Amino acid sequence: MARVNPRFALLLSTLLWSTPLSFSASVQAPNLVLPSSASTHRDAVKDIFVRSYNAYRQYAFGNDTVRPVTGGFANERNGWGASIVDAMSTMVIMGLDDFYKEALEFSSKIDFSRSQTNATVSVFETTIRYLGGLISAYELEGRRNQFLVDKAKEVTDKMAFAWAQPNQTIPFGFLNFTTNTVVVDTSNIAEAGTLDLEWFTLTKYTKNDTYRRLAEDSVRTIINIPPPLPGLAPQEIDPAKNRFIGSYLTWSGGSDSYFEYLIKYARLTNTEDNIFADTWAAAVDSSIRYLLRTSTVGNWTYLADRDDDGNIIGIGSHLACFHGGNWIYGGRLLNNQTIVNYGLALNDACWNTYASTLTGIGPEVFLYITTNATDESNSLILTQEQQAFYQQHGFYLNSSDTSYYDLRPEVLESNFYAWRATGDTKYLDRAASTIDNFNKYLVAEKTGGFAGLRDVNDPSKGMINNTESFWFAEVLKYMYLTFDDPNHISLDEWVFNTEAHPFKAPPAKASYGSGR
């Protein structure tokens, strides 16, 4: 069993499973009070959105993303205007009515019958950005524009061809929209298991249960394939044969949102079936038992990876840092303070990757030395520079190739959940410092837009010349809501998809799990 932070050293199985899993009356802490400075910070985030989006409008409107450093555009999401559709839910939340009206006009005319580029279509990316963006905007705006549902149905009807074989339950990850043929290849559990929130919500408004069934059956199939550890499905999967490939375990990319959606789907659907909440709880329990690690410097709590040979790798990533917020959310739902506490500790460790760099922004990948002497990654030879950085901060940077910041949201996402669940104003202070650092380091001179960094510890290395659509959908939405009225888009009333598009949830039931 992994050695854990002493303040959480306890009989895990007893505390986690001694009582039945039941939903809390509230995810959010009661009587949250924002300081007077919150509105100033909220407006500063809104200002960043407006400047970023105006750069997109000037240099790239109608295309997927803007090139903020040079001007111009890119079409990496099939040329359907990803930044527009992905930004719509944020526009509604921020009250940016003129932007939203323009986005509605554009989205009503998108031709989803084919890719506007030569690229194949990712079922996962198209689901979370386009389908999620359209259907969330429809709910947030008060269901005024039916064509948003119609467009969501149009793109999803094309994606349904990813289930190419008779009785196939796991979709292939990519397909040609012109010919409706799949790319026969392996996939991963994130791509195959991160569709059900969106497809279920589409069923809600079309009354066509095929959407829910296809997406939900994919998750059920993954759950029912025997995993290496209880609840912890490995990263790679073969949709044609319903089998895992290898046994690499991680909460990072390729696996991340599969675990995220297990607990969220239980909450959004109010399903009578305990399999989703139970599998999430089992994954958390296995992670605490086998993957949780403490750094030798700083006593930080991390979740390690486990490779195909069963070796523990002390590696973390910006992508994986959603786990703190997810554990806080799920722990609150299941009335399990132990899980919440671990989530808060994971969140603190991820925040430390921000607080420790020259720019105050965290890297794509980071590594650490664990207190478990036999862990495989502890045998790595560190450079003098890495050793010095580790001794000061409790993690180190692998190389300049993985020290970049690509406008990712996950650390700020978990910070948002931590604030809403605890009411501790240190999370507001963290978000406020990030606003300052974004304005200091990410503004591109030519366009006034915002760009990522090639090295968060050395901004002189330059910027990344692309503004991903999730900058509008996720980063700025989570930042804005951190400083907004906590009753606005309450975590007790809305469930966020992995692209931060909120879906309206019914009142919580008393119990969503079977207990152990």
* Closest-CA residue to 496 (of 87, 137, 200, 197): 197
In sequence order, the β-bridge partners of residue 464 are: 452
DSSP 405: B
Q: What CA–CA distances, in Å, run from 74 to 25, 411, 428, 444? A: 45, 26, 34, 16
DSSP letters along 22-45, please?
Answer: ---S-SSPTT----TTHHHHHHHH
The catalytic position among 191, 236, 364, 474 is 364
Query: Is the Cα torsion angle 108, 111, 112, 118 positive or negative in sign?
Result: negative
* Closest-CA residue to 257 (of 490, 467, 499): 499
Told to judge if 410 belongs to the known catalytic residues of this protein, a careful annotator would answer: no
Q: What CA–CA distances, in Å, run from 266 to 55, 200, 262, 329, 501? A: 39, 11, 7, 12, 17
Cα–Cα distance for residue pair 364/353, rounded to 1 Å: 10
Helix (H, G, I), strand (E, B) or coil at 297: coil
Distance of CA 151 to the CA centre of its chain: 24
End-to-end CA gap in the chain: 19
Q: What share of the chain is helix, strand, coil (3-state, %, to 5)?
A: 50, 10, 40
Token digits of residue 432 = 């406020």
Three-state secondary structure readout of 322-345: HHHHHHHHHHHHCCCHHHHHHHHH
* Closest-CA residue to 474 (of 191, 201, 129, 142): 129
Residues annotated as catalytic (active site), given as ranges:
364
